[in-house]
Amino acid sequence: MTTNDREWRFLVAESETPEARRKRRESVGRSSGETYLGILRELSPGAACDRIQPADADAALSPGATLAGYDAVFLTGSPLHLYEETPETRRTVAFMRAVFASGTPAFGSCAGLQVATVAAGGSVRPNVRGREAAFGRRITLTEAGCEHPLLAGRPAAYDAPSIHTDEVEALPPGATLLAGNRVTAVQAAEIRFDGGVFWGVQYHPEIGLDEVAGALRRQADGMVEAGLARSRDDVEAYAQQVDDLHREPDRRDLAWRLGLDEQVTVERLRQTELRNFAESLARLGRAGMQVVGR
């Protein structure tokens, strides 16, 4: 990310429950919010990055902080099911509505896209074509996606890290579909609501391959139940190959076995959407983000 001399203020909204944060840290050493904080500090050295857990009952911004005082909000993945009425989902959706109302641009991945969808009047459901695990395959740009700055640099079809059991059923009024595939119709979208703008993806440009492997191990039973693996040993064998490719991203034999190309194996390309959002923010600022997707 190329920035000017100003100090950027970013807020990471981590909607994992405390138990999900614990399991993720045990698996890969960091929660979803901590993954985002790490990559944002790489993309924008010197940025002031705060974190909030909007699903938690005691969630609050730092004293004196307001949503309008941030340059951008980033919504992480989460195990929350947005079609369920729970205190956690209600708090998370209410937070996103407040983000829209503040006018602060937002970006989100996986459940982040689902939260923004529900907050703006759309709907989410369980995946109707089965879970998308490890990698979303042949994600394809729509006509609008070919022109949108969020997906600048992506080829017409590409793969990306993707782990989810829920999907966007219907985008809210006024949203723009940017990409989809045969498993999940809404893979990328722009959502405008109540004076705010959100760019989001169903997949995970923020995570490394080690985190893909960790997610597979955490969800091994579900993978077997879904018929994607015959046993936990099968899941472990696949996860080990993903882990090995994380450690040695230039291993063409592993990439070939896993059916991956540089869109996944090269970190800079894997992070395309996050980089594009950050660069658009740096180039255009809040006001420009409100019109750039038009």
Query: Using alpha carbons only, what angle is made at residue 48 by residues 43 and 52, rounded to the nearest 5 degrees?
Result: 100
Query: Residue 23 half-sphere exposure, CB side, CA atoms within 13 Å?
Result: 13
Q: Which of 114, 136, 141 is nearest to 125 (CA)?
A: 114
Say which of 14, 16, 49, 110 is annotated catalytic: 110
What's the rounded Cα separation, in Å, for the pair 151 and 113?
Answer: 15
Say which of 14, 16, 206, 273 is annotated catalytic: 206
Q: Which of 268, 257, 273, 259 is nearest to 189 (CA)?
A: 273
Contact 12, 57 (CB under 8 A): no
Assess whether 206 carries a catalytic annotation.
yes
Q: Cβ atoms within 10 A of the Cβ of 265, count?
A: 21
Assess whether 146 carries a catalytic annotation.
no
Contact 246, 213 (CB under 8 A): yes
Assess whether 204 carries a catalytic annotation.
yes
Say which of 16, 204, 211, 273 is annotated catalytic: 204
Q: How far is CA 156 from CA 138, 142, 159, 171, 204, in A?
A: 9, 9, 11, 22, 18
What's the rounded Cα separation, in Å, for the pair 229 and 243?
Answer: 18
Residues belonging to the active site: 110, 204, 206
